[in-house]
Amino acid sequence: MKCPFCAQSETQVVETRESDEGDFIRRRRRCISCDKRFTTYERPDVSFPAIVKKDGRRIEFNRQKLKASMQLALRKRPVSTEQFDRSIERIEEKLLSMGEREVNSTRIGELVMRELKKMDKVAYVRFASVYRSFEDIDEFKTLVDEFRR
């Protein structure tokens, strides 16, 4: 690891810590040449499948976009941060375990709806109404009737 201050390639690891969640390792390093200290983070490099949009475009999986769409549906709903984070992790795990190089965006939408349905019915209806492009009140009624059964 090169020193960010003097570009010397020899550095020494002074301290290593795993994050509380176990998803990265933090290392404090000291440059052998200039004696300055800096921090590096080690994370696993995983390859998510490409997302195939409805119009055929292929885009990179974007965790922030997934989180933002779910947060919008969950806005002002009584769902803990822990529940939310765990649902994002389950969606990502499912995408990785599929072993596919490409996944249709509709499949991700279905995974999101499954998670929202378990967490909060109102958030589920909010997301489904946009995702499925509801045109009238009857479509909402049909969705709500599903919960009543």
Q: Quick one: which H or E segment has residue 127?
A: helix 121-131
Q: Which residues pair with 15 in a beta bridge?
A: 28
Question: Between β-strands 50-52 and 37-42, what pairing exists: parallel, antiparallel or unpaired?
Answer: unpaired
pLDDT digits (tens, 9 = 90+) for 80-113: 999 999 999 899 989 988 889 999 998 999 999 9
For 21-63, the three-class secondary structure string (H helix, E strand, C coil) is CCCCEEEEEEECCCCCEEEEEECCCCCCCEEECCCCCEECCCH
| pLDDT in the model for residue 135 | 75
What is the spatial distance between Cα 141 and Cα 68, in angstroms, rounded to a whole number?
26
Q: Does residue 142 have a pLDDT over 90?
A: no
Q: Given phi > 0 = left and psi -120 to 50 = alpha, else beta, which region is 56?
A: left
pLDDT digits (tens, 9 = 90+) for 23-80: 789 999 999 999 999 999 898 777 899 999 989 999 999 999 999 999 999 999 999 9
Mean pLDDT over residues 122-146, rounded?
A: 78
| pLDDT in the model for residue 137 | 78
Percent of the chain topping pLDDT 90: 60
Which residue has tokens 């709500």? 144
- Who's near 149: CB < 8 A, 6+ residues apart? none
Using CB atoms within 10 Å of the CB of residue 115, give its burial: 0 to 12 exposed, 13 to 18 middle, 19+ buried. buried
Mean pLDDT, the chain, rounded, equals 89
Give the global pTM.
Answer: 0.64
What is the spatial distance between Cα 69 and Cα 134, in angstroms, rounded to a whole number?
17
Are 14 and 37 in contact, with CB atoms under 8 Å apart?
A: yes
